[in-house]
Structure formats: structure tokens, C-alpha cells
Amino acid sequence: MSETFKAILVSRDAEKKQSVAVTDLTEADLMEGDVTVAVEATTVNYKDGLAISGKAPVIRRWPLVPGIDFAGTVVSSSHADWRKGDKVILNGWGVGETHFGAYAERARVNGDWLVPLPQGMSPHDAMAIGTAGYTAMLCVIALERHGIVPDRGPVVVTGAAGGVGSVAVSILSSLGYHVIASTGRSAESPYLIDLGAAEVISRDELAQPAKPLAKERWAGGVDAVGSHTLANVLSMTSYGGAVAACGLAGGMDLPASVAPFILRGVCLLGIDSVMAPKAVRLEAWRRIGTDLDLQKLASLSTTIGFDGIIDAAHDIVEGKIRGRVVVDM
């Protein structure tokens, strides 16, 4: 008899009503792939919250094991790059959306989707960073390539108490930027200051409909919110500045004008973490190893067990989660 393992399975009935259950699977139930991994740690991202809660159509195959991130150990492989015992990380590639994901004790995936776990980093550490932290690093790299360096002026981070925002604040401050953290949770100000924010502002300052152009306040930004917040950030970006956009916690719309682009030469830098090429991923994880203070991961993250995933998924959508949630499997 095949060995069973725990998994979360999201299903939908004939009326398209979604249900979520903890179940037992075997490796025979897993989807196609040339590498099987024992999942040691995963995380709960905002996208995972949307998938489990059904608040947005993240899942596009039914039934599905959600979870877009994992770190663990290869248990079998027919892929040239990987051998049994290798430590690996997976972020994105449609895992947890169209391919069985991280919320199971085993995952079978395409070996091209994996990157090596950096030396000196545990699976737990990697998931304290996760897709949110890897995305934050992609944003920082994009700003640097556009010439937004610390001496250009302040940078703003929206949704700063969330997963992407927390890591972005930490990385940017460690690189010498003057970081302005925007949050809707004023009680999190001490947390953000500890991460390195020089200033904390209320998200209310950015939540109303934006003017075509407003007073220049920052040289660049990392935005995980979208909608009116991103429109305001753009309108307040100084001449020649840039904003890296990577999220939609406040909405998928962008009610902005072209004024920042054609009158101030502002650039909007789109950041995709899901399908980023392997070379880009390797560079992001290399930079995380050098630019993120791993000692801050404890304050950035909370740890839960497998049984806490479903509740945490609902909490993150409701804005009740600070920083990162690590799941020790």
C-alpha cells in the first residue's frame, strides 16, 4: 500500500461553490513532473489567502492543492540538475494555481522550476523570505537598474506591514535608502521602524483619488497595493523617478493620469515573480543572501504548523497578518 501524506485540497461543486478540506494523498495522486520533493517548509502569501478563501480566481484547475512556495529535499529525480538529497526552493510557475502546490507533505514538479537553497539558509529561513521576499528583491533590483539609488532621495513602500512590504523595507534600509513606510495599521509603526523605516505614514494619505500631479515626495517606490494608492505614489514621484509595482491588495484598477509619465518622466516598472526566468531568480536569491539581514527574519515572521494554514489564509486576506507566515511541515 502506498504511503499517504496530509494535504489541503480545494474543490468546487457543479454550482461552482468552493470547499476546502484536509485530506490524505499518495504520490500517485500528484501531478506530472520529474522531481519529487519532501516539503519541509512553506508559507502563506496573500495569493494563497485569495486561493483558499475564494476571494479571487487564483485557482484555475479543480481540485487543487494550493500553496505557491515551498522549500525541501529532493526524494527522487529524473532531471539532470537534481539528485536525491538536494535542498531546493520553488516560487511560482503556476504551482498552487494550475499545478498541485505546497500544502502537502510531497510535491512533484518540473525540475526547471527549482532553484538551490542558498548555503547557510534553512528551509524555514527560505520560507520566511518566500515569494513575498523574492518579489521585494526583484523590485529593489528593478529600481537600481533604473538608477534609483539612495542618494536620489527617499523611497516609499506601500502595504509596508505586509509580506512584500516588510522585506522591502528591510532590504532598502540595509542598502542605505531613506525609507518611507506606508501602512494602514498605525500600531505597526514600531515594527516598521525596527525594520529600518525612517518615516511611517498612514495609508490614508494615499487612499483618496489622486491628483494628476502632486508635490514631489520620493524618488521611487515599491507598491504592493495598486488602485488609488499606486496612482497617488506615481503623482508624488519626483522627476525621473520610478515605481516598481508588484501587487493588488487595494485593487487591480489604476485610476491615474499620464501626467507623471509625460511631465516628470516617471517610469512604472512592472514586476512579475511567477514566470521570471531562472537567471533572474538566481540573482534575486543571491542578493537576498547578501542584502537581507537574516537576523531580522525572526521579527519579520511568525511560525505555524500545517493545521494553521487555513485560518492564516483567511487572516491574511482580512489584513490581520503582519510580515511573513512560515509553515513548518
Confidence band of 1 (pLDDT split at 50, 70, 90) = very low
Confidence band of 297 (pLDDT split at 50, 70, 90) = confident
Are 71 and 3 in contact by the 8 Å Cβ rule? The answer is no
C-alpha 173: how far from chain center:
19
Q: What is the pLDDT of residues 135-152, one digit of tens each?
A: 999 999 999 999 999 999
Q: H/E element holding 261?
A: helix 259-263
The mean per-residue pLDDT over the stretch 112-122 comes to 94
Res 296: pLDDT: 80
Domains of the chain: 4-117+297-328 (3.90.180.10), 131-270 (3.40.50.720)
Strands 18-26 and 35-43: unpaired
83 phi, psi to nearest 5 deg: -130, 160
The mean per-residue pLDDT over the stretch 238-257 comes to 96
Does position 282 have pLDDT exceeding 90, yes or no? yes
Q: What is the pLDDT of residues 39-97, one digit of tens each?
A: 999 999 999 999 999 999 999 999 999 999 999 999 999 999 999 999 999 999 999 99
Residue 36 neighbours by CB distance under 10 Å: 19
Res 2: pLDDT: 63
Mean pLDDT of the chain: 96
- Between residues 297 and 80, the one the model is more confident about: 80
**What proportion of the chain, given as a percentage, has pLDDT over 70?**
99
Instruction: Please tell me the pTM assigned to this model.
Output: 0.91
Peptide bond preceding 63: is omega within 30 degrees of 0, i.e. cis? yes
Res 13: pLDDT: 93
In Å, how far are 73, 74, 81, 89 from 113, measured between CA atoms? 14, 13, 11, 9
CA atoms within 13 A on the CB side of 33: 27
Res 293: pLDDT: 85
Res 295: pLDDT: 81
Positive or negative, the Cα torsion across 48, 51, 57, 60?
Answer: positive
